[in-house]
Every structure is written in C-alpha cells, then in structure tokens.
Chain A
Amino acid sequence: MILNIIGTWLAAGLTIAIFSFLYKDNPLYKFAEHLYVGVSAGFGVIYVWAFDLKPMLIDRFVSEHGVERWILLVPAILGILMLTRWTEKFAYISRLPIAFTVGIGAGLGITGSVQGFLLPQMQATLLPLTTINNVILVIGVVTTILYFYFSHEFKGASNIILRVAIVFIMVSFGASFGYTVMARISLLIGRVFFLLSDWLHII
C-alpha cells in the first residue's frame, strides 16, 4: 500500500516534469528525459535475456540432445557476430548475420505481400459498378495508383486523372489528420485522468 503511494507520487512528479517542457526546456524535463532513455535501454537488455537468450537458446541447449542441441550454436554465433558492430576493426563480420536476417525478411516479404496484400486488395477492388460507392472506390484506387506512376507524363485531358487522384489523396490525408488529432488528445486525457484520479483523487 505504502509502495503504491510512493509510486503514484513518483509517477506524478515525472509526469509534471515532462509537462514542464510546455513552458520551456528546463532541468526538470532534461532529468526526466535522460532517466527515460536510461531505463528504456536497461529494459532492452532485460528483455533480450528473459525472452530471447534464456528460453530460446540456453534452456533449449540444456534440454535438447544430439544434433538439435549443437545446431543451436549457429544462431548463437550469428548473434554474437552481430555484436561485432561495436568494434570498427571487426564490424565487417556483422554482415553475415545481417545478411541472414535480411534474406529471411526479403523472402517472407515477397510471398506475404503478394498473397496477403496485393491479391486480396486487387480482388476487393474488382467490384461491379452498380452502386455509386463502388464507382467512387474503383475510381479512387485506380487514379491514386496512376498518380504515383512517374514513368509517363500526364498531359492535357489525361491530367484529369491526376486531379481526381489529388481529391482522394487530400480527403485521405484529412481523415488521417483528424484521427491523429483524436489519438493525441486521447493520450493527454489519459495522463490528466491519472493526475486527477490516481494522484489527487479529485475524480
């Protein structure tokens, strides 16, 4: 219980320290900012140990037998080689694990993008032009794709494609802006709610 009270006051203090930036940059904000970076970096290390090295590597090495055990040395070595980026002299060795991860990412990306995005999205655009919404959707998708086609210059009458695309893109960006405003305000509401409810017990 007492720990909760101390913790709440600590959290409130740090919240106010960050909010103090609204007035101007000050030592309290800088303190909180540096504390945040330090603690976050520490979190990274704990995570790597608790959720990667220990369960995926060390525990497996202990529990497995034969080939299944010793083959785990391969990712372990690759992981350690990744850390050679810390040194200038041996940093070139880190190209090997980077190549491994990039290759897997690229291979997965091609099949995933085609199967998971391109084909379903194109299929969902092949709509009968029997309702006004379908017409607008199809025109919007086609003109937007063409807007980013830079190998051909749209002149004269074909310029209308670009003008239609801009309408859709601007509406889309406006919608995204509206949603972004909503998101940021929600974050502020969350912090103020904490201060008024958990800390000051006003609400």
Chain B
Amino acid sequence: MKFWDRLGAIDRRIIYTVIGLAVIIPLVTKLTFPIRVSDTVRSAYHSIERLPAGSIVMISIDYDAASGPELQPMLIAVLRHCFKKDIKVILTGQWALGLPLGEIALNQVAAEYNKKYGVDYINIGYRPGYTALIVGIGRELRDFFSTDYKRVPIDSFAFMRRVHNYNDINLLVGLEAGATGDAWVLYAGARFGLKMFFGATGVSAPDLYPYLQAKQIEGILAGLQGAAEYETLVNEKGTGTLGMPTQSVVHGLIIIFIILGNLSYFVLRKKQK
C-alpha cells in the first residue's frame, strides 16, 4: 500500500532533477534519431521551392525570445532555403521584442550565402498597429515603412522599388507565438489573396489546422519538430534536428510519469473499494 502511495506522490524536486538530466544527457551524448517529414511541412517547403529566383518572400517575426528556441531554428532554415534559391527576403514583424532575433538570424545566414543587404534582403523593422498595419500594407507599404530599420529610405534599394503592396510579394512566412497568424489570414490572406504558411510554437500550432484544412494557408511548421523537418528538407542540420532526440527522451519520460501516476491512482482506488 505504501509503495503505491509513494508512487503517486513522488517529490517534485525528484521530477525536476530527472527532467533536467533527461535534457542534458541526450545533448551531451549526441543521441540521434531519424526525422520523418510530415505532409504539412512538405507542403510549406514546396510553397517556397516552386518560386523562381528573384521572387519576394516576406517573413514576419511574430515571436520573442520566450519562443526563440522553437521558432529561431525555423527562421534560419527558411532563410537558408530562400537564399539557396536566390529569393529576395523582406523581414518585418508584429512583435517588437522579436525583431532583433530576426536581425541576428539574417546576418548569420546571409553571411553563409554571401548575400548582400539591400540587394538580396532587407529588414524594414517594426511598426505598431497590428491589424491596421496588416490592412494598410495591402494598399501601400510606404505609408507605414518609408524607411528600413536603419532609417534608410526603402526606395534606395533596387528590388524594393517594385514592392508596393501584397500584389508584389509572392509569399508570406509568419513565425507565430501567439494569435498574430489569425490576423495575417483574416486580413492579408482573405482580403488581399496573399499566400502564406506559418511556423508556430507547439502552443499555437493546433489552432492553425482549421486554416490548413480550408486551404487558407499552404502549410504549418509546428514546434521544434517542425523546425527539424524543415531542416531535413533543406539539407542543413540545425538546432531543431539536434534537439529532437532530447525531446523524444523527455516525452517518453513524461509518459512514464503519467502511467505511474495513473497506476497508483487505479490500484489505490481498487483497494479502497
């Protein structure tokens, strides 16, 4: 009886320690697992893959450092894909505290592919306004972003001279930690016909599936697994792929904890009856 009692009441610090070790050991031992690519990620990948060189992709940083571990690998993988295909990138965002993460990733990946600022990519920065901004850009981008994030007029950059609104943008990639993806779908997608796919945290991703089934979005990259799958498709291993073995081990451990807790519950309940 005591054993079953104790099994259902393991001290939380023991659980914390076990979880901590379960994260550290696979990372240190460099455990590997093959990554299976899902249809939702494959579909997102193809929406960039079929774009010709010189196309324009807008990436919206709608997350901050709190969701960085999940979404930053996605951003890096998408940027690598775009630069491999000589696709121009416009970086913007609806979350002010996330834009610097976008700048960090842009600089890192651009250097890998010898891409030049203003020629191959641009960071137009952030403006408040949320839905008003999304609708307003549909008419004229310059009404909100007359300069880039360094206060240089965007018309100074050759490829930006032909970008006025969503008609001149081939695809939007939204990296979502909250409900901003809904705003992109409702306003940019439905009203202006902009094609898009989303990378989302595990918390936000389930809410985007109705849009996918209704074909309002091209695909979803969900959580760190989504990042790992996209890295696999782009053939560039990153922190997404590196983190999946650890993710697997911890998931297994949590499932074991849940089973132990329920075992204790059912045995004690049966004994009480």
Contacts and interface: CB of A to CB of B under 8 A. Distances in A.
Chain A–chain B contact at Cβ < 8 A: yes
Contacts of B222: 179
Contacts of B70: 183, 186-187, 190
A52 B127 contact: yes
Interface string A147-189: 0000000000000000000000000100110011111111111
A176 B214 contact: no
Interface string B17-38: 0011001100110100000000
A17 to B, nearest CB: 16
A47 interface: yes
A186 B132 contact: no
Contacts of A188: 19, 23, 250
B243 A116 contact: no
B185 interface: yes
Contacts of B187: 108, 112, 116
B128 A52 contact: yes
11 contacts: A51-B125, A51-B127, A56-B127, A120-B216, A124-B213, A183-B223, A185-B23, A185-B251, A188-B23, A189-B27, A193-B242
A187 B66 contact: yes
B96 interface: yes
B201 interface: yes
A51 B150 CA distance: 10
A37 interface: no
Interface in B201-256: 201-203, 205-206, 210, 213-216, 222-225, 239, 242-243, 246-247, 250-251, 254
A180 B216 contact: no
Given A182-B202, A187-B66, A189-B243, A112 B146 contact: no
Given A108-B132, A183-B202, A196-B24, A189 B191 contact: no
Contact of B223 (A48, A116, A186, A203): A186
B131 interface: yes
Interface string A21-49: 01100000000000000001001100110
Given A182-B224, A193-B242, A124 B215 contact: yes
B144 A56 contact: yes
Interface in A51-88: 51-52, 54-56, 59-60
A23 to B, nearest CB: 7
A131 to B, nearest CB: 13
6 pairs of A and B residues whose beta carbons are closest in the complex: A190-B69, A183-B202, A116-B186, A124-B214, A116-B190, A186-B224
A99 interface: no
- For A22, A40, A188, A191, the residue with the greatest tally of chain B CB atoms inside 10 Å of its CB is A188
Contacts, number: 146
B186 A121 contact: no
B118 interface: no
Interface of A: 22-23, 40, 43-44, 47-48, 51-52, 54-56, 59-60, 104-105, 108-109, 111-113, 115-117, 120-121, 123-124, 137, 172, 175-176, 179-193, 196, 202-203
Interface in B174-194: 182-183, 185-187, 189-191
Contact of B186 (A60, A112, A123, A137): A112
B243 A183 contact: no
Contacts of B13: 22-23
Nearest to A202: B28
Given A59-B151, A116-B191, 12 more contacts: A55-B146, A108-B135, A109-B131, A112-B187, A116-B187, A176-B203, A181-B254, A185-B23, A189-B69, A191-B69, A193-B69, A196-B24
Interface residues of B, number: 57
Secondary structure at the A interface, as helix, strand, loop or mixed, is: helix
B121 interface: no
B143 to A, nearest CB: 9
B69 A203 contact: no
A189 B146 CA distance: 39
B191 A112 contact: yes
- The residue among A43, A113, A179, A180 with the most chain B CB atoms within 10 A of its own CB is A179
A189 B96 contact: no
Contacts of A180: 202-203
